[in-house]
Amino acid sequence: MLPKQRILTEAKSKLKSVRHKLTDLAEQNTGLLVLCRKELADHLNSKRFVIIVILVALTGLASIYAAANGIRAATQDQKTDFVFLYLFTAGGKSVPPFISFIALLGPLVSLALSFDAICGERSRRTLSKLLAQPIYRDAVINGKFLAVVIVSALMLVSLGALVGGLGLLLTGIPPSAEELVRILAFLFLTTVYMALWSALAIFFSVCFRQAATSALAGMAVWLFFSVFAQLLVGLVADAIFPLTDQAAAQIVFRNQQLRQFLGWLSPTTLYSEAVIAILNPSIRILGPVMMEQIEGAIAGPLPLGQSLLLIWPHFTGLIAGALLCFAGSYVLFMRQEIRAD
Amino acid sequence: MKIIPPKGKQIFIISMIIMLSAGLVVADTARAQSGLILSTPYPGLEVRPGETVHFPLEVLNQSIASQPVSLQVVSVPEGWNWSLLGQGKAVHQIFARQGTPQQVDFKLEVPAETKEGSYQTIIRASAAGAASNLTLNLKVSAESKQEGQLQTQYPQLEGPAGATFKFRVDLTNDTAKEQSYSLSAQAPPGWQVSFSPAFDSKKIASLSVNPGESQGLEVEVLPAKNVTADKYKIPIRAAYAGGALQTELVVTITGTYDLILSTPSGRLNANAYPGQEREVTLTIENAGSADLTGVRFSAREPTNWSVRFEPEEIDLLAAGETREVKALIKPDRRSIAGDYVVGLTASAAEARSTVEMRVLVKTSTLWGLVGILIIAAVIGAVYRLFKQYGRR
């Protein structure tokens, strides 16, 4: 046999085996895909989802409208090259910017969509029936998580497109390729952030039998990270490195460093910092800076790659957090005893 | 034949002697009395070698009847050119009316190689029954009075390359006639020399000056673009019909010092990573007209950065020479990503040049890889959980 033909047949057999593996994987996960599709349909048809989407869309559009109205003066002051990104990061006089709304409401949407993911089934007594179907047990939790992530992504992409379209209409300035990539990165980052909160909500819904308890626990965590975490971080940092009038610069710097480090334990802080850095190219560093580090530095936008590198730790933290939360709920769910009562 | 008595014979002889001697003594007057006079106002003249002299001759017919008079040069020093001119034409005859003087111009060129001394030229005018000789005495001497002058009060000017030098030159006509002077200069290649009358901007190539008068001239000298520091002599010449007047102008170009520091492509930005040396090629050009010695390089960089140069010093940078220099820029290990300004300076004792380099510091992708590894580890852990608990 010619070597060429041999290579060809080898490649063919390899391709066949890969295809086999893929079909095997699909067959193994038919339950997951069916469940995911069902969950997706449930979410999209639920009144809960409609209410939340309307809330998010209205606030988002309001902030974009306010930003677009003030954009002319703002761009003249700031002399930024990234006018389109400015729509997302700037607010009006009384309306906070779009990214603040998303940072606040994103977790709420995730919590609202999945606080009763498992315990709801349990209280409706459908979980045992579901598991009686010829599907793997993890298909249930995987499918629910996947469906919530897809719904979040869908919502964010359509919201982003809506906001972009409105911005284009109001300002008449098309986004550059870099701006587009930055916006897509922002949407992806937000999807990951929402996935983290969904994973947390699912974890609570596995933990608690009552849907209300699960929702309350989720809300408590959300409130803690949104409001109290920063206060607590300040408290701890000031206790370790007290800031007095005579405090040495070293102490002040350490205090700031500690604040930042503790802040990174909160997904909310991670997310806000990452979003600011990705949507505002002129941000070069997050956290305290020594004077000697910025000596000779000139104001200028950071290239996209550098911005991404800057937020890479945040991104890693968020993805790892989301996966860990999901892993926790997965383990908990798999070890739980489910009786057909 | 009649016999002359002895007494009478004596008387005759005596009278003959008297007549003859009288005739000898008053030979010229006798000839004058014969009626033709060739004359010139100044038959004795001092001339310089190479000069051309004009003798206005006058032929006066006093007594003989009006008739043509032949003119001929009887003797002339060897090698001298001459011509008789009447209304611009060479003539050899002149019509002399009785009692009316006739003019003719005698032009004599004294060869440049003529030795000093006295020379004679004889011209003869002859007609039927009368003739006249005119002897011209020429004393050739090198130091004889000039027939004009080209003078300048400040023959040496000094300035940097690129400057325009203006000389004030006075042209004096000491000849007896109005002269037309044609002006020229012998400048080095690439130089421009122009003449203009004093207080006038017109560029002229020639001018005429009345006898005894002097005319101010402005000589403008524009050196060549790539002129190097040196002393340059520019002879200028005003040629006229009888010769030429000369003088020499001197322009001293003082060196200009100009350094230009740049990059081969003109690009003044570079990328660098924190704590890593980055090589930037620079070009250093001596754009001045003098050599520069000891060109040193220095940098104004942010704190904790380091900038080295290779070579650190150039001993000699000739005028117009361009050299490449390498700058090794090393940002601070802890510097933040983004743009920084690093000032790079090349300086010699006479000149300096600074460029501002925009250095974009990029953070290393190492931490990005670490992030990817962490995510991969987490995914791996979740996958293990799937394997462990899933598919029950």
> Which residue, among B361, B375, B379, B387, would best test binding to A if mutated, counting the most A CBs under 10 Å from its CB?
B375
Ordered alpha helix ranges (H), chain B: 6-25, 27-34, 366-389
Q: Cβ of B173: how many Cβ atoms within 10 Å?
A: 24
Tell me whether B302 touches chain A (CB under 8 Å): yes
Tell me whether B119 touches chain A (CB under 8 Å): no
Tell me whether A336 touches chain B (CB under 8 Å): no
Distances (CA, A) of B254 to A20, B167, B227, B288, B318: 88, 17, 10, 10, 15
Query: Which residues on A lie below 8 Å from B304 (Cβ)?
Result: 292
For residue B372 the two structure tokens come to: 């990817």
Q: Distance between terminal CA atoms of chain A? A: 65
Lowest mean pLDDT among A65-69, A181-185, A292-296: A292-296
Tell me whether A302 touches chain B (CB under 8 Å): yes
| Mean pLDDT confidence for A197-201 | 95
Predicted local distance difference test score (pLDDT) of residue B67: 82
Residue A151 banded pLDDT, cuts 50, 70, 90:
very high
Predicted local distance difference test score (pLDDT) of residue A51: 92
Cα nearest neighbour of B386 on chain A: A138
DSSP 8-state code for residue B111: P
Enumerate the β-bridge partners of residue B198: none
Distance CA A190, CA A272 (A): 10
> Mean pLDDT over all residues of chain B?
83
Distance CA B222, CA B220 (A): 7
Total count of residues recorded for chain A: 341
Enumerate the β-bridge partners of residue B250: B156, B233
Predicted local distance difference test score (pLDDT) of residue A226: 87
Residue A124 has pLDDT above 80, yes or no: yes
Residue B21 banded pLDDT, cuts 50, 70, 90:
low
Q: How close B283 comes to chain A (CA, Å)?
A: 23
Q: How close A211 comes to chain B (CA, Å)?
A: 25
Tell me whether B381 touches chain A (CB under 8 Å): yes
Distances (CA, A) of B227 to A233, B119, B163, B223, B252: 73, 50, 11, 7, 11
Cα nearest neighbour of A335 on chain B: B389
Q: How close A312 comes to chain B (CA, Å)?
A: 6
For the stretch B322-364, pLDDT in tens is 999 999 999 888 888 888 889 999 988 888 889 998 888 888 7
Write the ipTM.
0.73
Predicted local distance difference test score (pLDDT) of residue B24: 47
Residue B1 has pLDDT above 50, yes or no: no
Q: Distance between terminal CA atoms of chain B? A: 193
Tell if the CB–CB gap between B374 and A316 is shorter than 8 Å.
Answer: yes
Query: Which residues on A lie below 8 Å from B344 (Cβ)?
Result: none
Domains of chain B: 35-140 (2.60.40.10), 148-254 (2.60.40.10), 259-361 (2.60.40.10)
Q: Give backbone dihedrals phi and psi of B196, rounded to 5 degrees, phi first.
A: -150, 150
Which single residue is written with the structure tokens 């990104």?
A85
Residue B22 has pLDDT above 60, yes or no: no
Predicted local distance difference test score (pLDDT) of residue A134: 81
Which residues 313-332 in chain B show a CB within 8 A of chain A? 332
What is the value of pTM for the model shown? 0.66
Distance CA B130, CA B37 (A): 9
Query: Which residues on B lie below 8 Å from A319 (Cβ)?
Result: 375, 378
Which single residue is written with the structure tokens 């998580």?
A145
Residue A190 has pLDDT above 90, yes or no: yes
Contact A170, A65 (CB under 8 A): yes
Q: How close B345 comes to chain A (CA, Å)?
A: 16
Residue B27 banded pLDDT, cuts 50, 70, 90:
very low
Distances (CA, A) of A260 to A37, A193, A234, A309, B72: 41, 19, 10, 18, 123
The arrangement of strands across the sheet holding B192-197 comes to: B148-152, B165-173, B214-222, B192-197
Residue B122, C-beta contacts closer than 8 angstroms, at least 6 positions apart: B73, B74, B75, B133, B134, B135, B136
Residue B30 has pLDDT above 60, yes or no: no
Nearest to A285 among B336, B342, B385 (CB): B336
Cα nearest neighbour of A138 on chain B: B390
The DSSP-derived string for B139-205 is EE-TTSPPSEEEEES--EEEEETT--EEEEEEEEE-SSS-EEEEEEE---TT-EEEEEETT----BS
Tell me whether B273 touches chain A (CB under 8 Å): no
For residue B155 the two structure tokens come to: 């023959």
Cα nearest neighbour of B373 on chain A: A316
For the stretch B363-387, pLDDT in tens is 877 777 888 898 899 889 888 888 7
DSSP 8-state code for residue B3: P
Predicted local distance difference test score (pLDDT) of residue B150: 85
For the stretch B234-275, pLDDT in tens is 999 898 887 788 889 999 988 778 888 999 998 888 888 888
Among candidate residues B370, B380, B374, B372, the one with its CA nearest the CA of residue A327: B380
For residue A291 the two structure tokens come to: 């004077």
Residue A98 banded pLDDT, cuts 50, 70, 90:
confident
Distance CA B68, CA B102 (A): 11
Cα nearest neighbour of B379 on chain A: A323
Residue B219, C-beta contacts closer than 8 angstroms, at least 6 positions apart: B166, B167, B168, B169, B185, B193, B194, B195, B236, B249
Tell if the CB–CB gap between B385 and A331 is shorter than 8 Å.
Answer: yes
What is the 3 state secondary structure string of chain A? CCHHHHHHHHHHHHHHHHHHHHHHHHHHCHHHHHHHHHHHHHHHHCHHHHHHHHHHHHHHHHHHHHHHHCHHHHHHHHCCCCHHHHHHHCCCCCCCCHHHHHHHHHHHHHHHHHCCCCHHHHHCCCHHHHHHCCCCCHHHHHHHHHHHHHHHHHHHHHHHHHHHHHHHHHHCCCCCHHHHHHHHHHHHHHHHHHHHHHHHHHHHHHHCCCHHHHHHHHHHHHHHHHHHHHHHHHHHHHHHCCCCCCCCHHHHHHHHHHHHHHHCCCHHHHHHHHHHHHHCCCCCCCCCCCHHHHCCECCCCCCHHHHHHHHHHHHHHHHHHHHHHHHHHHHHHHHCCCCCC
CA angle, B226 as apex, B222 and B232 as ends, to 5°?
55
Q: What count of Cα atoms within 13 Å lies in the side-chain half-sphere of residue B259?
A: 27
Nearest to A292 among B304, B379, B385 (CB): B304
Residue B63 banded pLDDT, cuts 50, 70, 90:
confident
Predicted local distance difference test score (pLDDT) of residue A198: 95
